[in-house]
Amino acid sequence: MFSRILIKLVDEAIFPAILLLATRLTSMLVVSKFFHANYEINANGVIFVNLSDYLKVNSYSTLFMILILAIGLLFIIIKSFVFHDSHISPGFSAKIYSLKMPSLIQSSFNIYSQGTIWLSYIYLILIVASFMTLFGMLYSWVLFVAIITTVISTALFVMDIEHEVKINKGKEIEYDSDSKYLEREEE
């Protein structure tokens, strides 16, 4: 069971990591071009001519990363509140199946593994943004946006987990219901 959880978390971590890297690189180029920031690329990396250009580009590219994480977290939070298999209404579930989109209905395992990864990335951005703000490499308002995004998304996930606990209270604990994983473990 431990290996299934670990594999799922690693699988879920790949897409947001690539998305964040692409967002960082793209936003650095776009923001640099928008603000006419002078920079050069050499063996040491991207070097900005003056500090104010670096501060602008770093702040706005970090902001774009936070916004991408907020959009991803919003999508997962919507799935957890609306399409969570434990608290979706039978009528809505029937509509989803009639539209031939049953993959929208998500299990707790899928939702919470995705949420864990995306939340860990927003916390990582928050920690890095805190240090960058402390050392004057980031505008302080970007840090406040990161704090607000982190607090709101964490609170919403906690609310969904509390709702899930209330629903499952008194039910028998199901450790692993996926038969293909059970067959592999028996071999």
**pLDDT for residue 118 is more than 90:** yes
Tokens (6 digits) for 34:
């928008």
- The whole-angstrom separation of Cα 168 and Cα 175 is 13
Looking at residue 155, its pLDDT comes to 95
Looking at residue 3, its pLDDT comes to 75
**Phi, psi dihedrals of residue 16, rounded to the nearest 5°:** -65, -30
The tens digit of pLDDT for each residue in 1-21 reads: 567 777 877 888 899 999 999
Distances (CA, A) of 1 to 23, 113, 155, 169, 175: 34, 14, 28, 22, 8
**pLDDT for residue 116 is more than 80:** yes
The tens digit of pLDDT for each residue in 130-181 reads: 999 999 999 999 999 999 999 999 999 999 888 888 777 766 555 555 555 5
The tens digit of pLDDT for each residue in 75-110 reads: 999 888 888 777 777 888 888 888 888 777 888 888
